Amino acid sequence: MVETGNPDLSIGMQCKLVSISRSSFYYTPKGETALNLMLMRQIDEQFLETPFFGVRQMTWHCETKVIW
């Protein structure tokens, strides 16, 4: 799509031609933190046990189980 080594077209012009912003081209995802992964796993496990939990019950469950 966008070639970084193209001598004829700058990266900015290539991004403009394919209708993406330059910041989108340079963006690299940072990934999830260990805490966020732990919370997502805990929510998944609880949801499998109690799929009827709503937001409030799931929030309460997460707050009572997290060890800081």
pLDDT band at 66 (very low <50, low <70, confident <90, very high): low
- The confidence score (pLDDT) of residue 51 equals 92
Delimit the domains of the chain by residue range: 1-29, 31-68
pTM assigned to the model? 0.53
Q: How far is CA 67 from CA 15, 43, 59, 61, in A?
A: 46, 15, 14, 12
Collapsing DSSP to helix, strand or coil, 3 comes out as coil
